[in-house]
């Protein structure tokens, strides 16, 4: 398995393999079992999906994925990092929209469907080219979504005055999808106080977006929690220099003043 920063062309790679690279890098795990699960899914496709119209094949895929194979959204522990770790999702068969969506995209493309991911505000959607236009699917449960339902998701994320337009429904490239997956992993790990793994997620994001001020700032907060004040200070100073008018810059100046940067004695 390649590391994320070794991919030279995100769009040329299998999306699921990119996502497994994220799991490997962040969680330092062996992904061989997950790769075997992917191979078994390919075998299932060959045995279970029959020729038909685009809508018929999509229906077979969705019914088989959620009902036959038992993949499902985790309602009880939605924000668990395991739900955004594709290796864990493949073996446990539960996840959240972005991780389940990646698998749905992977399988759909394997059988020739025109399927894309959409990094929608606050949610992740999957779109299929149907016999009479685009069909939008909630990857959390496989439900086909009306535009009215999608607009309600938008208003849940952006407020009641938000109005759905085609701009929100544009397909996302694989680079953007992996960035979304990394951010979800990072947020889950921070919530679980798993700072070393959260740092790995932040480092991967900075390989994708070198010098990004916001991500550098976030890494500084993680370094602070890991009791690495010098590294935290460097990241905070960089953010202040790059974004001097950002209100957070004033907060970080106070953070810097409070950091203990004195040399630590060796024992």
Query: Quick one: pLDDT at residue 12?
Result: 78
Query: Quick one: pLDDT at residue 265?
Result: 55
Q: Residue 40's CB: how many other CB atoms inside 10 A?
A: 12
Calculate mean pLDDT across residues 161-185: 96
**Left if phi > 0, otherwise alpha if psi is -120 to 50, otherwise beta: which for 27?**
alpha
Half-sphere exposure (CA, 13 Å, Cβ side) for 62? Answer: 22
Calculate mean pLDDT across residues 212-241: 96
58 CB contacts (<8 Å, ≥6 apart)? 108, 113, 128, 130, 135
pLDDT grade, residue 9 (50/70/90)? Answer: confident
Least confident of 19-23, 56-60, 134-138, 251-255: 251-255
Calculate mean pLDDT across residues 188-208: 97
**What is the spatial distance between Cα 115 and Cα 135, in angstroms, rounded to a whole number?**
9
Query: Quick one: pLDDT at residue 242?
Result: 97
67 CB contacts (<8 Å, ≥6 apart)? none
**What is the spatial distance between Cα 120 and Cα 69, in angstroms, rounded to a whole number?**
26
The partner residues of 73 in beta bridges, in order of sequence, read 95
pLDDT grade, residue 264 (50/70/90)? Answer: low
**What is the spatial distance between Cα 217 and Cα 215, in angstroms, rounded to a whole number?**
5
43 CB contacts (<8 Å, ≥6 apart)? none
**What is the spatial distance between Cα 14 and Cα 184, in angstroms, rounded to a whole number?**
20
For residue 222, pLDDT beyond 70: yes
102 CB contacts (<8 Å, ≥6 apart)? 15, 16, 19, 86, 117, 177, 181
How long a stretch of residues is the chain? Answer: 267
**What is the spatial distance between Cα 260 and Cα 86, in angstroms, rounded to a whole number?**
38
**What is the spatial distance between Cα 233 and Cα 137, in angstroms, rounded to a whole number?**
44
Measuring CA to CA, how many Å separate 212 from each of 32, 137, 187, 204, 229?
33, 32, 17, 12, 20
CA angle 29, 22, 190 (to 5 degrees): 90
The pLDDT tens digits of the residues spanning 34-93 come to 999 999 999 999 999 999 999 999 999 999 999 999 999 999 999 999 999 999 999 999
Query: Quick one: pLDDT at residue 262?
Result: 72
The pLDDT tens digits of the residues spanning 92-146 come to 999 999 999 999 999 999 999 999 999 999 999 999 998 899 999 999 999 999 9
15 in Cβ contact with 171 (< 8 Å)? no
């Amino acid at each position: 398995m390649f590391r994320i920063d070794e991919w030279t062309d995100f769009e040329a790679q299998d999306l699921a393999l990119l996502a497994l690279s994220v799991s490997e890098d962040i969680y330092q795990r062996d992904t061989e079992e997950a790769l075997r699960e992917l191979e078994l899914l390919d075998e299932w496709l060959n045995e279970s999906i029959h020729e038909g119209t685009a809508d018929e094949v999509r229906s077979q895929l969705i019914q088989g994925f959620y009902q036959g194979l038992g993949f499902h959204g985790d309602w009880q522990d939605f924000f668990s990092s395991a739900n955004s770790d594709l290796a864990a999702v493949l073996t446990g068969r539960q996840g959240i929209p972005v991780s389940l969506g990646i698998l749905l995209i992977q399988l759909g493309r394997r059988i020739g469907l025109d399927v894309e991911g959409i990094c929608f505000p606050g949610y992740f959607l999957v779109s299929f080219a149907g016999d009479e236009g685009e069909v939008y699917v909630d990857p959390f449960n496989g439900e086909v979504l009306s535009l009215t339902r999608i607009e309600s998701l938008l208003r849940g994320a952006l407020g009641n005055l938000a109005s759905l337009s085609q701009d929100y429904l544009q397909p996302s490239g694989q680079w953007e999808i992996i960035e979304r997956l990394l951010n979800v992993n990072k947020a889950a790990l921070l919530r679980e106080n798993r700072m070393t793994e959260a740092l790995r997620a932040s480092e991967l994001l900075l390989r994708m977006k070198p010098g990004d001020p916001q991500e550098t700032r976030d890494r500084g907060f993680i370094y602070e929690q890991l009791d690495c004040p010098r590294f935290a200070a460097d990241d905070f100073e960089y953010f202040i220099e790059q974004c001097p008018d950002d209100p957070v810059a004033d907060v970080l100046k106070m953070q810097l003043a409070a950091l203990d940067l004195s040399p630590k004695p060796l024992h």
